[in-house]
Structure 1
Amino acid sequence: MPLLSLVGIQFLLSTSLATYAIAATMMAPDFTLAIQERAGTFQVIASPPATTHFNQEAPAWLQITGGNKGGEKLKPSAKTKTSVVFVPQATDTETEFTVSLYLCDEANTFCENHQVKGKLPAVTRKKPELEKKNLNSKQKEKAMGAPAGESKLFILNDPEKAFALAKKEKKPLLIDFFAIWCPPCNLLDSDVFSAPSFAAAAKNFVLLKLDADSEASWAMKEQHKIAGYPTILFATPDSEEISRFAGFRPADVFEKEMTLAWKWRNDPIFKLSGSPDAHERRGLMHLEKGEYEQAISHLKLVPSKQEQLLLAEIGKLKAGNKTGLQAKLEESLRKFPSSLGSLENRQLLAELFEENGNKNGKRKTLQDLIATASALIAKPESLKGAEATLTDVQGMLAEAYEETGQADLAKKVWSEAAEQLKKEIQHAKKDLATERGRNLERAYCLWKSGRQAEADAVYTQLEQRYPEEFTFYYAHASMKLKLDDVSAAIPLGQKALKSSYGDNRLRSALLYAKTLKAAKRIDEARTVIRQTIAEAKVPATEAIRSGRYLQALRDFEKTL
């Protein structure tokens, strides 16, 4: 990466008079520029000289001074005291530019405008091509699935092998339905499956990992109606369900679930009948699978699971014509006003009020959500073992502040969530630069809090650590597109597509096509969509997400 030190026109900012004046001499030397080429797009990175920093509040721009775009000024894509990044559009001719930034000394006794010139080399932009490697699907999934695919304890994406081994050894199976882009899935890998206590408990089971984006998972996902990730399923060697749960659990809680599954290894759920325990296990399983009628028939016989019964009744109404849904949500909130589940119920109720034009009802519901979420955050110990984490609740609180027009409070909570995730990484003694699960959420929280340069830095570190994986390019490109930083989103989206496979390839193609459309490169966007659809394998059932992703691609093509 060449480093260009260039002297340009120099100005002085007079803070006392709030005017600009040409300075005979400058207090600080010029900043330096580094030009880095990535996938046909350039990054121009400015760094301040020693003992100075960039003024983050002052104007900052890069101006193209040659070619067809002469005079256009570009704002930074990332800006901190120690680094400012611009992403100018590459062209097929050499392009001159000027960068204007303000430098201050450490004591802030002066702040002066410096302008530095540079040149972007010419590039030849190729038409988008989908990556074609001489790898079969299992080889590519294994390459892209790290670190989930690295576990020596689990069989990866080979259910036939796992069930044959389970029958041979007469052991139940622990099946992890995971996705490499899923933060709690990554947390299970880093915090649970790597623990020595897990390895000891796992000796009683055959361990199988099924990548949710892989065709290898389709049959099992359809059979067991897997709706979200991670889902942990315990099954007999004949694929009869013993128990399940969704979401992250700390190692000690996870291992208690393993102990129960081992205890029930000869009592799969569908062979149970009559007892309260049987109704509870069957009711909760049907609820998790979205089989609300069956869930209701069992849970109404379990007095200790009345909140779950109400959730099943709400789910049934939501899946139907919604008649009576508001009344059922309000009943649930009267009976369980302070539970974790009440947060999602309030979100749903607020959406209903909005659909009906009831602004006061929506605002009152969101105010109640804010109060409940704040109370849960104040007692984080109450969330241990729950599917939702502390930062999940912080996210719901921040979104409620956004919905009620309290942007500053929302940013404050997003920032607190980012710091909480940082503390958790450090407490777990993980590398802050390369930890996956919490950093994915942390980067998002940083962005939502307005700390976009820090979010950029987190994503970039992860991209450098996992350069052949779509996950972090995809998340980074999504952020850039939502920020209307299209020139930065395009190369990131292109890399996400190049590194993708299976279902995440369909999602990556859609994102990349959206970035191309935003750049008015319509023909290229259409090519990406059509080629992806032509190469995709269509599942036999709409219950598999692949079908929905393909339909999303077809729908988007109609907008081009």
Structure 2
Amino acid sequence: MIGDDEVGRVSDLRGGRLLVVAFLLGGPLAPAAAAAPETAPPATAAPASPSREALSTQWGENRFIGRLKPGYHFNDKAPNKVVMAGKKITTGAVSGTAISPTSIHEREIVFAGLPSPGEATLYVCDDAQTFCDIHRIPFGGGNDKDPKTKEDPFPLSSQPGAHAARNGTWLTRYDEALKQARLHHQLLMIEFFARWCPGCIRLDTEVLQQPAFAELTRKMTRLRLDVDRFENSGLVGKYNAKAIPTLLVLNSEEAEIDRLTDFQPLEVITRWVQTLAKDPTPIAGLQQNPLLLGRRLLAAHRPMEALEQLKKVSPPAWELPQAEIETAELIVELDPNATEKKELLAGKLRQAVQQESASYRSLEWRKRLLQLQKVPSPDREKTFTDARDLADRLLKDEESLKTALMSENVGEFINFEKLLVATERAEIFEIAGRDDAEIQKAWELAAKIGEKVDLQCRGPSHRYLLVLMQAHLWSQAEELVGKLLANNPDDPELERRRLKILFEQKKFDEAAQLGEKCLRNSYGRNEVWVAENLAKTYIAAKKKKEARALIDRFLGRSDIDWKRTKGSRENLEKLREQVL
């Protein structure tokens, strides 16, 4: 919070009761009531109100931003304003020296284009509509933080399905979004996300919530689709959203223009959106540019078509080996039992590794090759040792790591690249079937590297928590999840992970209590996962009656997409046998 503010409870001011009634009814203010706050003496002696504690402010780049915690909202019917210090403005939504908000949503208010420091007057009401407070906040005194440097404490990802995002409107229904895009002749941006996904969390907090992103995409229709909701399954399949987060841009005729996968920083997304705004040609219209067409087809998970285009490019495009591998993968998917097709894929992987033996993506290629080389052999051992040695070199040598990642999209691991390599290394040990002690040591190394993650970075800190859980460092995981929950109380994803941690520590009664809460706050695939783990907890706590009732209730539900949760259904059926 910036500077000292003057807090005046409206009901304590002259004409205050009229103000409260007018504000709460959302109607026009009576002239006398509107003038009262301006002439009332400052209430500097009043104690800090709950709404002031819920308010945080930021100043920088000629922009003042106020944000509120859940339970409060800015009154958009009241005269919220900024008064400049000795500066008279004659443009924009200005009266004399007072500037009106550039944008105002329930819990965020923005004043942009401010040429100098000043004082903000903000009207804050509680959601129960029992009072409104006035807060007068000086800013620009020299100790203010730039908005870009402070993490938003109230992330959009904690409100899945919310219709209105604070930095612009995000719709949650595809038909409504498409209708709006067609009505206004706009491009349609779709974010495919999940609450548990660290990359999605980082994209949300560092990009989608930023005022600059709202301004960047203000001429687009924006839609958020949670992939864990069963009702979104059809759209996930229709647009081949195999990875999350994905930002997909369509024209109003539903033709794909381009997509970005995984976390990308705001500057990258800014250049991308600006490029699409200048030339919104859909993929189907790029036949004269095989390199661009090939890249966009590959991003759209259409590798066969991408390969056809990239083969036309000379010298060979960087994406060509990946297109060859993904095409071979697709052929294997069509006939997973065909040995010759798996050999074709293995050959493409060996060829790619030979061409790029020191790149980061060659680690991923070797990992996939190990999955195909199931029978112990000298070739399999060489694949493992080469992968391990490369990972070790990248972790020890900064220059080698920098070179290996030069052309890579490391997504959520930007600024945490060593954690990415260490995680890949541990997974390679697991896939290679090394002994338990070696695997444990590999995960402990990843956990050690993860200690450098800033806990204020929500996406990477969630990833670090997953690494601790993979390493079975349950005490450290419980300590970390406690710290993260202190910053984000009632975060449903953190609570689900804590459920798993408590179970592994054999704290069954506490886990059962938390699991019941998680069940109330979950939906779709997450709800089924919680039910499965809560049933395990009940059984471990010798509460077989509760376990059976829970299992029977879920197995009898027809609203669950059991095709997408086949493994969980099988697990629930096995658990049911234990309580018969």
Which bin holds the TM-score, normalised by the shorter protein? 0.5 to 0.7
2:391 to 373, 376, 383: 373
Q: CA deviation at 1:450?
A: 6.2
Check the 8 A contact 2:481/2:494 in 1, yes or no: yes
Give the counterpart of 1:344 among 352, 364, 373.
Answer: 364
How big is the shift at 1:449? 5.2
Q: By how many angstroms is 1:249 displaced?
A: 1.0
Secondary structure of residue in 1 paired with 2:257? strand
Q: Quick one: which amino acid aligns to residue 497 of structure 2?
A: A
Distance in 2 separating the partners of 1:259 and 1:159: 24
User: Contact (CA 8 Å) 2:167, 2:211: kept in 1 or not?
Assistant: no
SS in structure 1 of the partner of residue 452 of structure 2: helix
Matched, 1:400 2:428: yes
Q: Which amino acid aligns with 1:394?
A: A
Give the letter aligned to residue 339 of structure 1: S
How far, CA to CA, are the matches of 2:534 and 2:159 in structure 1?
19
The answer to whether the 8 Å contact 1:144/1:499 transfers is: no
How many angstroms apart in 2 are the aligned matches of 1:171 and 1:181?
Answer: 30
**Aligned to 1:552, which of 563, 568, 571?**
568
Cα offsets for 1:85-140 (capped at 9, x unmatched): xxxxxxxxxxxxxxxxxxxxxxxxxxxxxxxxxxxxxxxxxxxxxxxxxxxxxxxx
How far off its partner does 1:439 sit?
2.3
Percent identical: 24
Matched, 1:503 2:503: no
Q: Counterpart of 1:419 in structure 2: which amino acid? A: E
Q: Give yes or no for contact 2:423–2:443 (8 Å, CA) kept in 1.
A: no
CA distance in 2 between counterparts of 1:349 and 1:142 reads 36
Once the two structures are superposed, residues 182-216 of structure 1 have per-residue CA deviations (whole angstroms, 9 ceiling, x without a partner) of 11101011111233432332224222211222245
Structure 2 match to 1:13: none
Deviation for aligned residue 1:521: 4.3
Deviation at 1:150, TM superposition (A): 4.3
1:527 aligns with 2:549: yes
Partner of 1:225: 240
CA gap of 1:198–1:282, structure 2 versus 1, over 3 A, is closer
User: Are positions 1:332 and 2:352 aligned together?
Assistant: yes
CA distance in 2, matches of 1:298, 1:374: 36
Q: Select which of 499, 515, 521 maps to 2:537.
A: 515
Distance 1:208 1:386, change over 3 A: same
Structure with bigger RCO (C-alpha 8 Å, 6+ apart): 1
Rounded Cα–Cα distance in structure 2 between residues aligned with 1:142 and 1:406: 37
CA contact (8 A) 1:313 1:328 kept: no
Structure 2 alignment gaps of length 5 or more: 1-155
Structure 1 counterpart of 2:7:
none
Aligned equivalents of 2:285, 2:348: Cα separation in 1: 32
| Aligned with residue 214 of structure 1, among 218, 229, 234 | 229
Match of 1:57 in 2: none
1:362 paired with 2:380, answer: yes
Q: Are 1:459 and 1:476, in contact at CA under 8 Å, matched by a contact in 2? A: yes
Which amino acid in structure 1 is aligned with residue 324 of structure 2?
L
Gapped runs of 5+ residues in structure 1?
1-140, 426-431, 540-545
Alpha-carbon deviations, 1:158-205, whole Å to 9, x = none? 223322222232221221111111111010111112334323322242
Aligned to 1:459: 481
Q: Give the deviation of 1:465 after TM superposition.
A: 5.4
Question: 2:217 corresponds to which letter in structure 1?
Answer: A
Counterpart amino acid of residue 309 in structure 1: A
- The number of equivalent residue pairs is 398
TM-score by length of 1: 0.63
Q: Secondary structure at the match of 1:323?
A: helix
Rounded to whole Å, the distance in 1 between the matches of 2:380 and 2:538 is 37
Quick check: 2:228–2:525 contact (8 Å CA) kept in 1? yes
The 8 Å contact of residues 264 and 412 in structure 2, kept in 1 or not, is answered as no
> Does the CA-based 8 Å contact 1:158-1:216 persist in structure 2?
no
User: Does the CA contact (< 8 Å) of 1:299 and 1:308 recur in 2?
Assistant: no
Instruction: Note the C-alpha offset of 1:314.
Output: 3.5
Hey, what's the Cα distance between the residues in 2 that align with 1:478 and 1:363?
34
Whichever residue aligns with residue 531 of structure 1, its letter is R
Q: 1:406 to 1:284 in 2, by over 3 A?
A: same
- Aligned residue in 2 for 1:298: 309
Aligned to 1:116: none
Match of 1:276?
290
SS of residue in 2 equivalent to 1:548: coil
Checking the alignment, whether the CA contact within 8 Å between 1:497 and 1:505 is kept in structure 2 is: yes
Tell me if structure 2 keeps the 8 A contact 1:314–1:329.
no
Question: Within 2, Cα distance between the matches of 1:385 and 1:436?
Answer: 19
Q: Is the 8 A contact 2:198 2:412 kept in 1?
A: no
* Aligned counterparts of 1:357 and 1:483: Cα–Cα separation in 2: 35
Q: Take 2:226 and 2:476, find their aligned partners in 1: how far apart are those partners?
A: 30
Q: State the superposition RMSD in angstroms.
A: 3.2
Q: CA deviation at 1:409?
A: 4.6
AA of the residue aligned to 2:359 = S
Q: For the residues of structure 2 that align with 1:217 and 1:338, how far apart are their CA atoms?
A: 40
Paired with 2:505 and 2:325, the residues of 1 have a C-alpha distance of 36
AA partner of residue 386 (structure 1): V
Q: Distance in 2 between matches of 1:299 and 1:488?
A: 56
